Structure 1
Amino acid sequence: MNILVTGAKGFVGKNLIAELRNKGYNDIFEFSRESDPSLLEKYTKDCDFVFHLAGVNRPKDVNEFMEGNFGLTSQLLELLKKHGNKAPVLITSSIQADKDNPYGRSKKAGEDLLLNYYKETDVKVYIYRLPNLFGKWSRPNYNTVVATYCHNIARDMDIQINNPDAELTLCYIDDVLEEFLRALEGHPTIQDDYCVVPTTHKIKLGDLANVIKSFKDSRGNLSIPNMKDALTKKLYSTYLSFLPENKFSYDLKMNCDHRGSFTEFIRTLDRGQVSINVSKPGITKGNHWHHTKNEKFLVVSGEGLIRFRKIDSEEIIEYRVNGDRLQVVDIPTGYTHSIVNIGEKDLVTVMWVNECFDPGKPDTYYLEV
């Protein structure tokens, strides 16, 4: 199947082409502003489906709106008619198309061209009035406020919030791609005479800014965003794609002493925290018990001995663990416990606890095993 994608170097085009290739579509005609204009003649002759994504969002001159959003569409459709090509055509319009502004009028003109083309040729056409899109590979100060906020906040740059209570309708690029693939297979989602991406999200501008700022803060407070919230999950993935390439990593606070180190890695509101414990050879750590707090230990390097004793018993229970055989050991409540490095190198243990440490209520009581 030969697939023509106009606007191939743009935000949606780059993501779409990558996903088409993921799905096994390898015969893709990529057309962009940098392409030789004569290629469009060949592509419109041989294509089996058209994704017409090219357009103008923020021109230097408002006249470019009509030229970019109407002129190229007209040229594309005329070439398809010239070659008698009945390939379905999908066009990306905007929710602005019903508004009386230069951008909206240009998008509406493009829609009308496609509707007339359908009436003349009976070729399948799919008109998508898209809201504000966001996701990886979008451009700050061009595609969406999400891109601008992610880019600036990741670089400690100021952001502008004109009206914190202004509500945005956002649509994530992966949801767009899923819908476009359905259209490619002949099953678009139709609503009120237009095609739509069924999954969208609403958020106030001020809330959007605060959520993205929290992603930056999470490196310091070790928190993980609420991945149960679909919009937060998508925004966080987008934010990470805007990290400066020399800022992918960040330091953790290592609490070091002669015994080794203890370093908190991740803290969550409802799933506890993860820490990394390093013990030097011969060192014993622990010797305490908990009423409610519970843990999981996973030794990933070295040799260790985890010892347990129920606080009202003399019986000692032992588990030998090592990094050559990854094995999780649960730490039940009511058992005092310790971990001893019985090897000749550092003992490295990943420790999960069901609640973040609260110095006001540590639920930790010293008692030797």
Structure 2
Amino acid sequence: MNILVTGSKGFIGKNLIAELKNRNYISIQEYSRDTDPALLNEYCKNADFVFHLAGVNRPKDQSEFMDGNYGFTSTLLETLKKYQNNCPVMISSSVQANLENPYGISKRAGEDLLFQYSNQTGAKALVYRFPNVFGKWCKPNYNSAIATFCHNIANGLPINVNDPNVKMNLVYIDDVVEELINALNCNESKVDDFCEVPVVHTISLGEIVDLIYSFKQSREERTIPDMSNSFSKSLYSTYLSYLPEDQFSYELKMNVDNRGSFTEFIKTPERGQVSVNISKPGITKGNHWHHTKNEKFLVVSGHGVIRFRKIDSSEVIEYFVSGKRLEVVDIPTGYTHNIENLGDTDMVTIMWANELFDPEKPDTYYLEV
């Protein structure tokens, strides 16, 4: 299948092409402002599907709206018509096509042109009126508030929010790409004459800004956002893509003593926390029990033994553990427990606890196993 993508170097185009290649679509004709215009004839002659993503949204002069959003669409469709190529054509429009501003008028003109072309030739027309699209590779300080906020906050630059109560309708780039590939496979989501991305997020500017600042703070607090919320998950992925390249890493506080170290890695209010425990050879750690706090231990390097004793029993239970055989050991409530390094090298254990440590209520009681 020959797939023509106009606007191939733009935000949506780059993401779409990357995923098409991931899915083994190998015959992709990429057309951008830098492409030799003469190639448009060859591409239109051979295309089996057209993703028309090229357009103008921030011109130096308003007349460029019609040239870019109507004029090039006309050229594209006339070239397809010249070669009697009635393949499906998808066009990237905007919700602003409903508005009487120069950008909206130019987008609506492009839509009308495609509908007329479809009526004349029988070619399938797929018109998407996208709301604000956000995600990786979107140019900041251009035409996307999300890209600008993520970039500026990640880089310690100021942002400007005129009205935090303004509601935004947003679609995530991965959802857009998924829908476009569905359209390629004749499985588009369509209402009347227009196609649409099924997942639209409605959220205020103020909420967006608060979330992004919380992402920045999370690296200092060793927390991660709520991944069960699809918008928060998508926005967090977007934010990380704007981190300065010399700031991908951040240090953790290691609590070190002669027994080894204990380091908190990730904290989540609703899913507990993950820590890394390093025990020196011959060292035993623990000898305590919990009422409600429960844990999971996973030794990933070295070998040792985890011992348990129910607090009202004299029977000791032993689980021998090793990084050579990854095995999760649950630490039930009501059992005092310890972990001893039986090797001659450091033993490294990943530890998960169901709750964050609260010094005011640690739920940890000393008792020898």
Contact 1:134 1:172 in 2 (8 A): yes
d(CA) in 2 for partners of 1:186, 1:319: 56
The amino acid across from 2:366 in the alignment is: Y
Aligned to 1:58: 58
Aligned to 1:118: 118
Aligned to 2:307: 307
Q: CA deviation at 1:108?
A: 0.9
Q: CA deviation at 1:193?
A: 2.0
Q: Which runs of 5+ in 2 are unaligned?
A: none
Contact 1:96 1:104 in 2 (8 A): yes
Kindly report the root-mean-square deviation, in angstroms, between the aligned alpha carbons of the 2 structures: 1.0
d(CA) in 2 for partners of 1:331, 1:25: 49
Contact 1:44 1:85 in 2 (8 A): yes
1:144 matched to 2:144? The reply is yes
Q: CA deviation at 1:304?
A: 1.3
The amino acid across from 1:113 in the alignment is: L
Moved more, 59-68 or 289-298: 59-68
Aligned length: 369
Aligned to 2:107: 107
SS in 1 for 2:24: coil
Moved more, 16-25 or 166-175: 16-25
Q: CA deviation at 1:11?
A: 0.6
d(CA) in 1 for partners of 2:82, 2:89: 15
1:227 matched to 2:227? The reply is yes
Aligned to 1:80: 80
Moved more, 204-213 or 191-200: 191-200
State the Cα deviation string for residues 263-308 of structure 1 (Å, max 9, x = none).
Answer: 0001111111110011111111111111111111111111212111
Q: CA deviation at 1:62?
A: 1.5
Q: List aligned pairs for 1:86-235, cutoff 5 A.
A: 86-235=86-235
Aligned identity (percent) is 64
d(CA) in 1 for partners of 2:24, 2:265: 39
Q: CA deviation at 1:187?
A: 2.6
d(CA) in 2 for partners of 1:352, 1:318: 20
Contact 1:133 1:143 in 2 (8 A): no
Aligned to 2:265: 265
The amino acid across from 1:312 in the alignment is: D
State the Cα deviation string for residues 89-108 of structure 1 (Å, max 9, x = none).
Answer: 10000000110111111111
Moved more, 114-123 or 102-111: 114-123
1:295 matched to 2:281? The reply is no
d(CA) in 1 for partners of 2:303, 2:22: 43
SS in 2 for 1:273: strand
Q: CA deviation at 1:143?
A: 4.2
1:70 matched to 2:70? The reply is yes
Q: List aligned pairs for 1:234-245, cutoff 5 A.
A: 234-245=234-245
d(CA) in 2 for partners of 1:110, 1:48: 21
SS in 2 for 1:64: helix
Aligned to 1:326: 326
Moved more, 90-99 or 109-118: 109-118
Q: Which runs of 5+ in 1 are unaligned?
A: none
Moved more, 31-40 or 175-184: 175-184
d(CA) in 1 for partners of 2:291, 2:188: 56
Contact 1:57 1:142 in 2 (8 A): no
Q: CA deviation at 1:192?
A: 3.7
Aligned to 1:352: 352
Aligned to 1:248: 248
TM-score normalised over the length of structure 2: 0.98
d(CA) in 2 for partners of 1:345, 1:357: 28
The amino acid across from 1:131 in the alignment is: P
Q: List aligned pairs for 1:2-13, cutoff 5 A.
A: 2-13=2-13
Q: CA deviation at 1:142?
A: 2.2
SS in 2 for 1:236: helix
State the Cα deviation string for residues 305-329 of structure 1 (Å, max 9, x = none).
Answer: 2111111122211121111111111
d(CA) in 2 for partners of 1:274, 1:23: 35
The amino acid across from 2:328 in the alignment is: V
The amino acid across from 2:16 in the alignment is: L
Q: CA deviation at 1:333?
A: 1.0
Moved more, 182-191 or 208-217: 182-191
User: Runs (4+) of structure 1 moved beyond 2 Å?
Assistant: none
Contact 1:65 1:102 in 2 (8 A): yes
Aligned to 1:34: 34
SS in 2 for 1:133: strand
Q: Decide whether aligned partners of structure 1 residues 16 and 143 sit closer, same or farther in structure 2, where only a CA change above 3 A counts.
A: farther
The amino acid across from 2:57 in the alignment is: N
The amino acid across from 2:111 in the alignment is: E
Q: CA deviation at 1:119?
A: 2.0
